[in-house]
Amino acid sequence: MSETILSDLAKALGDQSIKVIDLTHTLDPDFPVIILPPEFNQCARFRMEEISAYDHRGPAWKWHNITLSEHTGTHFDAPAHWISGRDLPNNSVDTINPANFVGPVMVIDCSEGSATNEDFELTPELILAWEEEHGEIPKDSWVLMRTDWSKKTGADYLNMRDDGPHSPGPTPDAIRFLIHERNIRGFGTETVGTDAGQGSHYTPPYPAHFYLHGAGKFGLQCLANLDLLPPRGAILLAAPLKIKDGTGSPLRVMALVQGNDI
Ligand code: MN
């Protein structure tokens, strides 16, 4: 490989002809976490406690202890998160090959349908329609479902009703297509999970989790700013914390985008 590729990249980052887009929500105690049916254990919201703040507890420094679950805020799902990926090799965040943390990203815009249908479904037909316009999804790509759901705040984000949460997501067929026909690296959403709010009613329940992790693929959720990405051509940077046997991790997700794409 020519060493000019990296020097060209450095130059493009320097003159901002390649921009860095932040796809991450701020970790905040008010940011919602997924709520499971009451018979199951729940994951924790983000909490921050002051250790000292330039005071008698530490006169020249300020710092915090933080607590949160592996699946709080903008976060990465490893194959070990789901029973279907339980026995795969290198299935936890500390053992995944780091080459997977940098790579191409495709963005399928479902924002229009999701604006009028809170249970909007990404289907194989919609993926094929996207490919008609933008070309086939390359092997080993991230595929992100843009819904603009990240612009919702408070109770609207989880959108809980008597029958559980309502938010857009992929059908089982869409996920199977992305895995078996396109061999993607992972799938990401702007909602609290990679599955639809009503994903427990599919067969199998939570098909994105079940199929992705069973195939050794990854998930990203609670993403933001997907409206700032081109349909294809961007590079995603998504490196989870190196937690021993971790099933996922909060992380800073960023995209490199060519200036003329945005
Ligand atoms: Mn998760």
CA–centroid distance, 1 to ligand 1, in Å, is 36
Residue linked to tokens 């059908």: 171
Find the CATH number of the domain harbouring 255: 3.50.30.50
pLDDT of residue 229: 98
Task: Please report the pLDDT score of residue 262 as a whole number.
Answer: 55
Domain, as residue range, for 257: 18-261
Question: Which residues carry out catalysis?
Answer: 81
Q: Answer yes or no: is 10 within a domain.
A: no
Query: What was the pLDDT predicted at 37?
Result: 87
Q: Give residue 151's pLDDT.
A: 98
Are the C-beta atoms of 219 and 253 separated by less than 8 Å?
no
Phi-psi region of 60 (alpha: psi -120 to 50; beta: other; left: phi over 0): alpha
Mean pLDDT for each consecutive 10-residue tract of the chain (262 residues)? 86 96 97 92 97 98 98 98 98 98 98 98 98 98 98 96 96 98 98 97 97 98 98 98 98 93 57
Within-domain flag for 104: yes
Tokens of 81: 């998160």
User: How many domains is the chain partitioned into structurally?
Assistant: 1
In a domain? residue 250: yes
In a domain, 2, yes or no: no
Q: Judge whether 7 lies within some domain.
A: no
Q: Is residue 204 part of a domain?
A: yes
Does residue 3 sit within a domain?
A: no
The rounded Å distance from CA 62 to ligand 1 centre is 31
Is the pTM of the predicted complex or chain greater than 0.85? yes
DSSP state of 96: S
Distance 63 CA to ligand 1 centre (A): 27
Pairing of strands 248-250, 75-77: antiparallel
Q: Has residue 162 been placed in a domain?
A: yes
128 alpha carbon – ligand 1 mean position (Å): 27
